[in-house]
Structure 1
């Protein structure tokens, strides 16, 4: 008997929950038999949320209690047998199911799954332990050995290129950034998803185990297990309270979160709090290229349009967004520049000093161990933006199967099966978000309003694409945005041409 578990909205008390559980089990068991549905109450999260379901009683005993004291005899459907009554008609014999075909025997083949970190589950959580057990089960089922290959990032793509060119990729499934996958796809070095999946695979059915990732070069090549990814404006809640600033999530909920409000708060947070003539707190910080990419994406622009193979510097939406970023740096002076170099990547970490009110950051860049409390909202949508893209996903990555892999359909099937385990999370990526954020409202903000709304940034895929030069002229050398866009347009177009079609 299979019991489907769902969760009702709202909260119930512990005692009421037990009564409710027993009542629902009995009612639905008697009505629907093996298809009964049990509804369990959940509890809201505060700090350090615990969102999993806990079953505190044995369902087997519960269902036995519901059935009544009928001694385990045959069901009578409420009608007692009487002497002389005609016997019930014999049930028609059940059809014998065709024997399931034996899985292919790969003869001990080693399947390699690669990334620039260890993809093997650590075994620290219940789901990780279950997946390790599933991997062992799949290895035995297909007579294979699964090996997780960890290659240093700087060696990863050179190794990919060298081995693919020989016809023997160093791994069967590879993690790749989109900016690396685009050139590989254009060179015919990757297989399309439709080339290694079947209609029966989960990726083409319920999509609970695996999903297709966004297309590149007009085709779908990538796949991955459902998860959580996103970047937003994070804010130092402690500093906001100290400075008397309005909570950003309240502004977002009320529809007031836009570029004007962002700038207003950034200006209010940039101040000399002890009157010593030096600025003590700042409105904003971050790596300037990352900042510009995000505001451009949130305004419907892009530095490069890979689908149309066109530069994006001269796009009016891009120019408008870069003008706004220039205003933050050179007009309002609300950005903290710790290193003295506005183009320095290390400015990405400046927010960790604790004196910056707002900063852009992806999920992985924050965690519950930061020395201050923090929250998150989407980047404010620009005047010409939409809710489709709220951030620039410059680190987007997925799994790919290189050309030259033997039996790619079977390799993919085996990989997908390793994720066929009981789902212990309320939604994909829940455990990770709970480890990164301290508040339920931040977890739900990321899940509902940021995840899946990233514009994939591919300008780094093009040889020497001049994004850095373009922004340096504006943010460091105080050049006109429009003039700089025209200046670097030919160089950008030449870069696109070098990659080819």
Structure 2
């Protein structure tokens, strides 16, 4: 306790020094370090305009030459081949000297990271101080007490609890904040084939969204208008939609405000009226209005997620990282809003984040060092600028993504529960045109038992 009070006093002094020295500092965002694949991390060559607003300093603690290890499924070690990389290396060298530490990135396949995380944390000796794992793996870890809650390492003055210029919080897991990640502009959204929209004279989704008309009904109306035989050979050759049915249903459920499995309350979400509504809508796309292109011969096949690449599909749900080297012009909007939805949530968030395992020594200092590692000059106008401009050729799409989609993911963790019957239920509904209400009722008890098997350990 005495040590904590001393550090607090030093923090106050350091803050006063920081305020006096900060005159004239800019307010730009730092280079992105997002949760997208490594290729999404920016590496611009332009000169910095200013530094992000620094988080309040923490009095340096001598960690005795300790190595702080950061584990993820790609090598995060900065290189000196870009201005941003050089700045990050300089920052790491500065922090290593200040705290008497070594900072090391560990690159391992995701499954190996998950396995080592569990075994070493259970043994009380986590193999890394900061670890990137999927949210579905973080849930059982959190429930088993293997993750350090953010309240134990992020101070009230941390950037993550204030400006979020350096790091952002991951969504709460089981009602508690644990994770964090870099500032970025990555998401899942409804993409559309601009060439087909122009050829078929379909309405502009951007205008529909801006006018408050981008709803499930309008989406279905356009999908039906786009599904047609354009060469009069008696066969449909252009389709309104394509995708992996289970993923599409999950995203439409999120855009209707529904969690398929509610990790905060521990209750199954199959029978949530908003989930049922989403399943009914997706079933209508596939089996009533028949606006979905099926390339593999099986409606629920996961490989259908790539069918849109053929260029004969008007609309499709994908993440930004999937939009690469396509033979047609495309645009994006949020997934249309469901009857029970809002603009707060537009897609189902899965993905991964950074966590501090339970048992890591000095987690508050470790986190502060990592947060300060992000405090380098801004080499882009906004996070992920270069990455996004490589993929999207229309400024209005990037603006739509940044202003209306980023940050609207609804954390969806049904895959974290063993044998949760989401895929089975969707398969029966889509492949067999089974009754939605009968199917969710059929699997309701299995879904709840699956959640209870983790929640009640």
| Alpha carbons 2:253, 2:278 under 8 Å: kept | yes
Aligned to 1:177: 134
1:267 shift after superposition: 1.3
Of 336, 339, 354, the residue aligned with 2:293 is 336
Of 172, 176, 183, the residue aligned with 1:226 is 183
Aligned to 1:377: 333
In the alignment, the residues of structure 2 paired with residue 189 and residue 101 of structure 1 have an alpha-carbon distance, to the nearest angstrom, of: 26
Larger-Rg structure: 1
Of 309, 321, 340, the residue aligned with 1:352 is 309
Q: Please report the TM-score for the alignment, with normalisation by the length of structure 2.
A: 0.85
- Aligned residue for 2:432, secondary structure, equals coil
- Aligned residue for 2:235, secondary structure, equals coil
CA pair 253-149 structure 1, distance change in 2 beyond 3 A: same
1:463 shift after superposition: 0.9
| Alpha carbons 2:65, 2:100 under 8 Å: kept | yes
Of 432, 437, 444, the residue aligned with 2:399 is 444
Aligned to 1:434: 389
Aligned to 2:252: 295
Aligned to 1:402: 357
Q: Does 1:167 align with 2:124?
A: yes
Aligned to 2:344: 388
| Alpha carbons 2:48, 2:379 under 8 Å: kept | no
| Alpha carbons 2:344, 2:408 under 8 Å: kept | yes
Of 443, 447, 451, the residue aligned with 1:492 is 447
RMSD, aligned α-carbons: 2.4
| Alpha carbons 2:192, 2:314 under 8 Å: kept | yes
| Farther-moved stretch of structure 1 (240-249 vs 123-132) | 123-132
Aligned to 2:281: 324
1:198 shift after superposition: 2.8
- Aligned residue for 1:149, secondary structure, equals strand
Aligned to 1:466: 421
1:371 shift after superposition: 1.8
Deviations 1:279-307 (A, max 9, x none): 21111111111100111111122211111
| Alpha carbons 1:289, 1:468 under 8 Å: kept | yes
Tell me: higher relative CO, structure 1 or 2? Use CA pairs within 8 A at least 6 residues apart: 2
1:52 shift after superposition: 11
In the alignment, the residues of structure 1 paired with residue 366 and residue 23 of structure 2 have an alpha-carbon distance, to the nearest angstrom, of: 35
CA pair 365-403 structure 1, distance change in 2 beyond 3 A: same
Q: Does 1:273 align with 2:255?
A: no
In the alignment, the residues of structure 1 paired with residue 354 and residue 410 of structure 2 have an alpha-carbon distance, to the nearest angstrom, of: 18
Unaligned runs of 5+ in 1: 1-33, 40-50, 57-99
1:206 shift after superposition: 3.1
CA pair 294-55 structure 1, distance change in 2 beyond 3 A: closer
Q: Does 1:201 align with 2:150?
A: no
| Alpha carbons 1:106, 1:144 under 8 Å: kept | yes
Q: Does 1:365 align with 2:322?
A: yes
1:274 shift after superposition: 1.5
In the alignment, the residues of structure 2 paired with residue 52 and residue 387 of structure 1 have an alpha-carbon distance, to the nearest angstrom, of: 35
1:241 shift after superposition: 1.4
| Alpha carbons 1:52, 1:425 under 8 Å: kept | no
1:102 shift after superposition: 7.8
| Alpha carbons 2:286, 2:292 under 8 Å: kept | yes
Deviations 1:161-183 (A, max 9, x none): 11111111121101122111111
Q: Does 1:108 align with 2:68?
A: no
CA pair 125-482 structure 1, distance change in 2 beyond 3 A: farther
Unaligned runs of 5+ in 2: 1-21, 28-43, 50-56
In the alignment, the residues of structure 2 paired with residue 454 and residue 204 of structure 1 have an alpha-carbon distance, to the nearest angstrom, of: 20
1:381 shift after superposition: 0.5
1:36 shift after superposition: 7.0
